[in-house]
Amino acid sequence: MKVMKTACAALFAAFSAQAAAVGSVADVTVFDRSEGRQLQVYWHEGRAYVVGKPGNEYSVRIRNRQRDDVLGVISVDGVNVITGETAVAQQSGYVLAPYRQFDIGGWRKNLESTAAFYFTSLPDSYAARTGRPDNAGVIGVAIYRKKEQPPASLMQPAPFASGELSRKEAANAAAPDADVHGAARDARREDRLGTGHGRSEESHTRHVGFERASSHPAETVTIYYDSYRNLLARGIVPPLPYQFPPRRPAPNPFPGFAADPPA
């Protein structure tokens, strides 16, 4: 019986851990850095949502589940987190080693630093402040597999390939998943959340080459976010359980000696 209980507990823990991850080629989660916790995912009409707390810093956490490198092109509020351009899936991204996890915690300013992501009101978001507020409230990760290289005896010299597709390839590629860039338009409330351009912090990286197996992503992960109040109003998250106020001690008829009143 003890063995069965242990096994059930392990299974429950495993399922609980997966409840906050989205994706199959790679696991994508949102980590609240201010509170040190992974945000729960709520599924509604086939879409994944997380609750953002205004003012809290967060990171987009990606874990590569493959035996080879993958490329992740990350979009926050419809903006590429590396280049600051209006995002399309064919742009530059981060190369992730096999089975490794990487946290993207901010807008990249250079190879040594980023400006931290934090949940904020729409007018204060980086997207709105740069004139692109329409897609606030959505995180997108386009995952590309690496092109397999032929055996050494058949390998031919090849030019250096950057993480970004050529202009011709990008033009011929299909448009990015509409959910990443358009679905957030179904909620144009001015009180919805966006992502701010926060404090500067060290984040070292370097340029590497990556040749994509295809001009189309192997997988596109989309996670929407908003405040608890807004998601509750839309029926996406359940109401919080009622918190009973702390019980006040009953008055004591014999508390002790009489003290002098204040002067």
Classify burial at 144, counting beta carbons within 10 Å of its beta carbon; exposed 0-12, middle 13-18, buried 19 or more: buried
Q: Minimal CA–CA distance to 184: which of 225, 219, 231?
A: 225
**Quick one: which H or E segment has residue 32?**
strand 26-32
Q: Identify whether the C-beta of residue 40 lies closer than 8 Å to the C-beta of residue 50.
A: yes
pTM for the predicted model, two decimal places = 0.74
Rounded CA-CA distance 110/5 in Å is 51
Per-residue pLDDT of the chain (263 residues; tens, 9 = 90+): 444 333 333 333 333 333 567 888 999 999 999 999 999 999 999 999 999 999 999 999 999 999 999 999 999 999 999 999 999 999 999 999 999 999 999 999 999 999 999 999 999 999 999 999 999 999 999 999 998 876 543 333 333 233 454 444 444 443 344 443 444 444 456 689 999 999 999 999 888 888 999 999 999 999 999 999 999 999 999 998 876 777 778 787 877 777 788 87
| Distance between CA atoms of residues 244 and 249, nearest Å | 15
Q: pLDDT tens across 51-105, in order?
A: 999 999 999 999 999 999 999 999 999 999 999 999 999 999 999 999 999 999 9
Contact 105, 59 (CB under 8 A): yes
pLDDT digits (tens, 9 = 90+) for 49-65: 999 999 999 999 999 99
Per-residue b or e along 84-94, where b marks 16 or more CB atoms closer than 10 Å to that residue's CB: eebbbbbbbbb
Torsion angle (degrees, nearest 10) of CA 124, 129, 134, 140: -80
The confidence score (pLDDT) of residue 155 equals 34
Torsion of CA 54, 59, 63, 64, to 10 degrees: 120
**231: which residues sit within 8 A by CB, 6+ positions away?**
42, 49, 51, 237
pLDDT at position 151 is 55
Residue 101, strand partner residues:
63
